[in-house]
Amino acid sequence: MNNYEAVIILSQTIADEAKVAFAEKMKELIVLNGELTNVDEWGKKTLAYEIKKQKEGFYILLTFTAKPESILEMDRILGLDESVLKHMIIKK
């Protein structure tokens, strides 16, 4: 198992209930294949450049351990989610 960090930028138009549901979905996905060590919600921030015609986004930082195979699935799920503007998963 490796240590990872994931930074996820959600759309500014997403409802609070949807943010909570998204965070729970990510937590469940990580716990299935590893261990979640920290969730840090940075809140709404101004983007350096527009992404999908939006100037602000809601940032979430996840720190976790997981098997390398599970990262591909997590990346796929984040890429398909309409509320995700950008995401990046890095190995620590």
Tracing tokens 């100037």 back to the chain, one arrives at: 55
- How much is the pLDDT for 14? 87
Enter the CATH code of domain 2-84.
3.30.70.60
Alpha helices (runs of H) in 4-91, residue ranges in sequence order: 16-33, 68-80
Give tens-digit pLDDT for 43-65: 899 999 999 999 999 999 999 99
- Tokens for 42, please give them: 């940075």
8 Å CB contact between 62 and 39: yes
CA atoms within 13 A on the CB side of 26: 30
pTM, rounded to two decimals: 0.89
**Domain ranges within the chain, ordered by starting residue:** 2-84
